[in-house]
Amino acid sequence: MSEMRLEKGLHNCRLLWNNVKLFNCKSWNDQKRMVCHGSWGGEKSISISMKPSSEQCVPVFKCRSITEWQEQDNGNQSAHVFAVEFDTLFNAEVRDPNSNHVGIDVNSLVSRVTANAGYYDDGTGEFRNLSLISRRAFQAWVDYDGVATQVTVTMAPLGLPRPKRPLLQAVLDLSDVVRGAPYVGFSSATGILFSRHFVLGWSFALDGPAPALDVAALPALPPAGPKPRSKVLEIVLPVASAALVLAAGIAIYALVRRRLKYAELRDDWEAPFGSHRFSYKDLYHATKGFSDERLLGAGGFGSVYKGVLRKPDMEVAVKKVSHQSRQGMKEFIAEIVSMGRLRHRNLVQLLGYCRRKGELLLVYDYMPNGSLEKFLYDRTKSPLDWPQRFHIIRGVASGLLYLHEDWEQVVIHRDVKASNVLLDGEMNGRLGDFGLARLYDHGDDAHTTHVVGTMGYLAPELGHTGKATPATDVFAFGAFLLEVGCGRRPIEQDEHNNGIVLVDRVMEHWRNGSIVDAIDPRIPNGYNPEEVSLVLKLGLLCLHPLPNARPTMRQFMQCLDGNMILPNMSPAHLDFTLMDRMYGKGFNQNAVSCVSSTSIGSISDLSMGR
């Protein structure tokens, strides 16, 4: 501290504090380095002070509170205290303008004048803010002119020359404030907060300019040092860490669940079929998660859903089929992919497949008008007229001819029936459900397979040979012809649970010369008797118990188009009943899977409204 004396009335005396280098920063320790000058400088600042005693030398922890100051000294003219404060905290009780300002105080914590900490640029005249807590050193000049009774305060960053325009000016006669031999120096206090204020150097003079400071010789700013942990952080950090761990756990769980949700089975042998394989994720989103609103139909071995693929933008039907064994799966997938190359306007296009654990998904073209079966038996739908039925019959026959003779291999469908004939937007009949189909090369013999299919459509020789051939498809097609023409299922139950066989009923009408009377009575707008008679007679020929007596699909098409004379239709040639032929020659019911679909399942529901 420096001691000086100021006599009242000595107006030509000039009191200067010049080139005071200050630094102020918030910290959490080392508070004992500060010096408290009473309560001047407040609980939150550092100040350049003049006071008639040396009480400022007491340690900071003995500083009086702001309340004590206000009660005893604030506004007391006998306090004889003058100070320039550099304040870093806002206190509304003493009318602070903000938390970064400079003020001139006289006997009071309420500053006479204040200004935001900063300086005026000599070149542009613009005001530039300075932060008192930025850990950047600055310098301040405090001048008192006893003649003009004026105090000026100027500040600038350390190293810059003193600005020409001061930050603060106040008309003030210090001879009324400072009496005797006052002490000049610094004081600081922080209240409930911890701060460190550093005075890197200062100079003082009376009646002349204070000596300039050598900036290069000033001590370096002490390092900030480690800060003790905040109580707030002690609470927030564990909570935030726990929340982060929880969020990471949830994210990992969601990722694992997502991968399991879309998991697929892939084997090396499937590599050549990659272009025919759909991702389960795409099918899942296409069917809205296989939701009930997309369900088209359900059978004993699976369900069919409508799907809308994004890339490419197209509607599909997705059949979910359960499978628990991998035995024969390689061969089956190979045949599925091969049949995906079939191209005919009267076949439902098989697009590809997807395989998951315990589940196989087959993807087909979507048929908007559903299965033919609905139009034959659903009383809520308008019945098909005869031209529509004849057009559908011809289309299915054309598709079967393509499978049997016109493709690169022989394709045996093995499940021809009305529920597997689907109708596109133009009511064209398309044969679907290739889940049971088998392939072999032209000229080769058919392989023996497990007999599967639907009773009433199964050829009697299957019980003896176990071989599916074009002739067995023709037999099922004959049952289909009678089903479409008569509007009845091949085998039905009467009220007494007796079996009624459709072929026997039509045969009886044929014997009586009234085969046209077997037609579906619900057919609207009349019909062509010659076409009806031709279709039903061809149906009987296709249902002949002897395979060699049945027409081929090419012969059927020629007869239908009038390019071939109808084969022998004598009573001796057609003297049979279906049930007698089936069970009279060893066709054991136990040898037949008499269900509407097989372990692979029917694709009869590739449309809406089942």
Instruction: Pick out the residues of the known binding site for ATP.
Output: 320
The whole-angstrom separation of Cα 160 and Cα 139 is 9
Closest CA to 18 of 226, 220, 161: 161
Triad 158, 161, 162: Cα angle to 5°:
95
Closest CA to 143 of 163, 157, 127: 163
CB 281 within 8 A of CB 307: no
Closest CA to 288 of 270, 305, 302: 305
The whole-angstrom separation of Cα 425 and Cα 367 is 7
Please name the helix (run of DSSP H) or strand (run of DSSP E) that holds residue 471, with its range, or none. helix 470-486
CB 355 within 8 A of CB 596: no
Alpha helices in 154-295 (DSSP H): 231-261, 280-286
455 HSE (CA, 13 A, CB side): 18
The strands making up 195-206's β-sheet, listed across from edge to edge, are: 168-171, 150-157, 138-145, 14-26, 195-206
Using the CB atoms, write b or e for 138-149: b if 16+ within 10 Å: bbbbbbbbbeee
Burial of 71 (0-12, 13-18, 19+ CB in 10 A): exposed
Residue 384, CA distances (Å) to 272, 360, 370, 430, 527 in order = 44, 35, 13, 16, 11
Please report, in range form, the residues annotated as the binding site. 320
The set of long-range contacts for 499-508, using a CB threshold of 8 Å and a minimum separation of 24, is: 499/579, 501/456, 501/577, 501/578, 501/579, 502/456, 503/478, 503/479, 503/539, 503/540, 503/543, 503/577, 503/578, 504/577, 504/578, 504/579, 506/482, 506/536, 506/539, 506/540, 507/540, 507/574, 507/576, 507/577
CB 76 within 8 A of CB 121: no
Question: Which listed residue (415, 424, 473, 605) is catalytic?
Answer: 415
CB 370 within 8 A of CB 609: yes
Active site residue 214: no
For residue 22, the SS3 value is strand
Tell me the backbone φ, ψ of residue 167, rounded to 5 degrees. Answer: -80, -45
Peptide bond into 161 cis (omega under 30): no
Residues in CB range of 173: below 8 A, 6 or more apart: 149
Residues with active-site annotation: 415
